[in-house]
A = this chain, B = another copy of it.
Amino acid sequence: MGAARLKWYGWGREGEGMSAEERAFVLGRYHEKFGARDFAAVPVPKLEDLKLPAPRLAPPAALEAFCSRDAYDRAAHAYGKSYPDYVRALHGDFAVAPDVVAYPRNEAEIAAVMDWAGESGAALAPFGGGSSVCGGVEHAGDRPSVTLDLRNLNRVVEVDKTSRAALIEGGAFGPDLERQLKPHGLTLRHFPQSFEYSTLGGWIATRSGGHFASLYTHIDDLVESLRVVTPKGVLESRRLPGSGAGPSPDRMFIGSEGTLGVISQAWMRVQAKPTFRAGASLRFSDFFAAARAVRALSQAGLYPSNCRILDPREAYNTGAGDGGSAIMALAFEGADHPLDAWMARALECCADHGGAPEPENAAAGLWRNAFIRMPYSREFLTPAGLIVDTFETAITWDRFEALHAAVTSAVERAILEATGVKGEVTCRFTHIYPDGPAPYFSFHALGRHGALLDQWRAIKNAAGDALMAAGGTITHHHAVGRDHRPWYDQQRPDLFALALRAAKRALDPAAIMNPGVLIDP
């Protein structure tokens, strides 16, 4: 922790944030949408002014060395990074702050914290990097609570260059694990938007979606084996490139969101550092033409590393387009061979649907930069009373256009009803499959301080209901957490819930692991 500490309110580390120029750009877009008013209204409370509830729990002497009850630690671990998280923090509402934050340094200390939590009747929430945007890391506030932060388990333990695999600890942040892989010429290349401030264990626990637009979309397929600390002990799966021996043990823990245990280590499939690249930015007359090109591409067996499309407004909002065209960022990469043949065919697929490459591949870079910087905007947009959020889904191609229409109109209507002001809903694709895309929606509304949570909830409810009715998933890569439970409970087969609850009771009999997330015991 030589670097500045992570913000307790906001994205990244203290001292980081958008430049004045970036802020002006982002706010400029909202002035265009909602008029040239002054949005900066509500001050962010100071850490020293926060009223944290008195801790209900003190770590036993044996755990003291790596546990904290400091205000900073508790405040910084109270929330993830969702819109309602920012609003509640802005209100100084820290009723859900953990009583204790534990920073174990090894598996034995993770197990010791679990044992103690079990004995104390405390809830235990694994934090990852705390980048959850769906209420995945907070406590209910109804019982003593401990948050587990694995930042001290951050090593690349072993590298198997022959098999292109690496054993990595669960608490490693993205840049940290990439830095350790680099001397070996290897890279995981899993770059979720939260890359800098999320961990390997968190990615696996939430089925994170990364860099690769096709094929290796989720972290799932990059997992070769896992070590998981559960309240019943440590589980380790065998390192195997493939297996047909019963249901996959790994797949029960991939996506378990801390409800079954804590991922302490994983053997991950890594890549050779790419040395060949082919990239293009394309314009399409409209989003659906671009989507048809993506469908052709996704079914062509070409597997682009990037194939993201932005609708005209989404492109405009991020500075990647002028608002008149949909944009596609297309790329192939690899360490083995030139990719000209791949790109040539992909461009033909695009041309079939009216896609024209830009002479300079600028839009993709502009969008990428905006995408990486985007999380820094929430810390000033929320105090400005703006309700800006995103949600994502996946849907088969046959139902995509209907889902897009239904979701867009439901959310537009909900914004108008909740705020009285016309908002905006935009869409892009983040990942693609032969049988369908993963559409990602952003919405922009002018909220009212004092009503932000209710307004957001009304909009979010409309989005979730529309996704369910249109046949999508409530989340493609943001996970379920607490916020998506109402729709997850509809989407998930009841008998699977029955089986999963039984599995949870077997591994976590005292029901201490992340209660409220995914399933109720």
A residues near B (Cβ < 8 Å) are 160, 162-165, 206-209, 215, 217-218, 224, 228, 230, 232-249, 251-257, 260, 269, 272, 295, 299-303, 334-337, 340-342, 345, 394-398, 431, 433-438, 471-480, 484, 488, 491-496, 498-503, 505-507, 518
Contact = CB atoms under 8 A, between A and B. Distances in A.
B394 A252 contact: no
Chain multiplicity (copies): 2
Nearest to A234: B495
A301 B494 CA distance: 39
A237 B496 contact: yes
Contacts of A206: 244
A504 to B, nearest CB: 8
A242 B477 CA distance: 9
Instruction: Decide if the interface of chain A is mainly helix, strand, loop or mixed.
Output: loop
A117 B299 CA distance: 44
A247 B500 contact: yes
A161 to B, nearest CB: 8
Ranked 6 nearest A-B pairs via Cβ? A241-B436, A341-B341, A241-B433, A502-B506, A499-B503, A207-B244
A296 to B, nearest CB: 8
A342 B230 CA distance: 45
B238 A473 contact: yes
Nearest to A220: B248
A244 B496 contact: no
Contact of A241 (B165, B269, B435): B435
Nearest to A518: B246
A295 B232 CA distance: 39
Contacts of A336: 299-302, 345
Contact of A502 (B241, B272, B503): B503
B254 A247 contact: yes
A474 B257 CA distance: 29
B252 A496 contact: yes
A252 B249 contact: no
Contacts of A502: 502-503, 505-506
A303 B303 contact: yes
B493 A499 contact: no
Contact of A217 (B240, B242, B499, B506): B242
A434 B244 contact: no
Given A162-B398, A341-B341, A501-B506, 9 more contacts: A162-B295, A163-B398, A235-B495, A237-B493, A240-B436, A244-B255, A246-B255, A247-B252, A499-B507
Contact of A479 (B217, B240, B244, B260): B244
Contacts of A251: 247-248, 251-252
Contacts of A245: 255, 473-475, 479-480, 484, 488, 491-492
Contacts of A492: 245-246, 249
Contacts of A224: 396, 435
B240 A395 contact: yes
Contacts of A479: 244-245
B253 A247 contact: yes
8 contacts: A162-B398, A165-B435, A233-B495, A235-B495, A243-B394, A244-B473, A245-B484, A251-B251
A171 to B, nearest CB: 21
Nearest to A507: B499
A209 B256 CA distance: 27
Given A243-B475, A247-B252, A480-B246, A396 B506 contact: no
Contact of A163 (B233, B436, B477): B436
A132 to B, nearest CB: 12
A239 B471 contact: yes
B256 A246 contact: yes
Contacts of A242: 217-218, 394, 431, 433, 436, 438, 473, 476
Contact of A398 (B160, B228, B394): B160
A433 B162 CA distance: 12
Contacts of A238: 471, 473, 491
B244 A248 contact: no
A493 B236 contact: yes
B498 A507 contact: yes
Nearest to A299: B164
Contact of A252 (B165, B252, B295): B252
A240 to B, nearest CB: 5
Given A235-B494, A252-B247, A336-B299, A472 B240 contact: yes
A243 B434 contact: no
Contact of A299 (B252, B272, B395, B398): B272
